[in-house]
Chain A
Amino acid sequence: TQLLEQSPQFLSIQEGENLTVYCNSSSVFSSLQWYRQEPGEGPVLLVTVVTGGEVKKLKRLTFQFGDARKDSSLHITAAQPGDTGLYLCAGGGVSGNTGKLIFGQGTTLQVKP
């Protein structure tokens, strides 16, 4: 069974702090996606990484895909209260279907003003 382990599961920080969320697996994925989900809503795609070692930046968010395509990280610089939410990583390419995703259990981020 392919699993994605996210850590930490819960993070509460002050506005302005930096943080990193990790996503690890023993399996290789053809792509790794990061989503943000608000309570009562569906996940919203932030980024897709497909190449081992790839780094993508989205304003204050930096995403990295491990060289072996088994792990990924999300780093947020100078967190703001608007960053509060559930962050999910998801591995794609299972059985050749890039839309069939294996999700991690999520990291709940709370940024206090």
Chain B
Amino acid sequence: DTGVSQDPRHKITKRGQNVTFRCDPISEHNRLYWYRQTLGQGPEFLTYFQNEAQLEKSRLLSDRFSAERPKGSFSTLEIQRTEQGDSAMYLCASSLRAVGEKLFFGSGTQLSVL
């Protein structure tokens, strides 16, 4: 069990550029979540997948954000035309849907938009 892996760990970009983050969940986990955390706050839910299906998106997720999980394994989160307000830690978590669902978080991708 190698845990949830996220890449890159850090990303610095200029306003207006597109960025893409990758998440590799724990292999047998069928649920995958994306959260966003800003400094001094707890994480906020963005979206989640069960297998390859994206089942829910937060209203926080503007049209500039898109997430995919093409084969029910790894997932990508893309932000188009980044804005300074997008600067945050983007966290991925995976779980095995079951009673008492437990989320396992990755180390996150820290995005800085200049």
Contacts and interface: CB of A to CB of B under 8 A. Distances in A.
Interface residues of B, number: 26
B15 to A, nearest CB: 24
A50 to B, nearest CB: 7
B106 interface: yes
Interface in B5-48: 31, 33, 35, 40-45, 48
Contact of B43 (A43, A45, A98): A43
Contacts of A99: 31, 33, 48, 93, 95, 97, 101, 103
Nearest to B43: A103
A104 B56 CA distance: 21
B104 interface: yes
Given A40-B107, A44-B105, A99-B31, A31 B43 contact: no
25 contacts: A31-B100, A40-B110, A42-B4, A42-B105, A42-B107, A42-B108, A43-B43, A43-B105, A44-B105, A45-B103, A45-B104, A48-B102, A50-B100, A90-B42, A92-B101, A95-B56, A97-B48, A99-B33, A100-B33, A100-B48, A101-B45, A103-B41, A103-B43, A103-B44, A104-B42
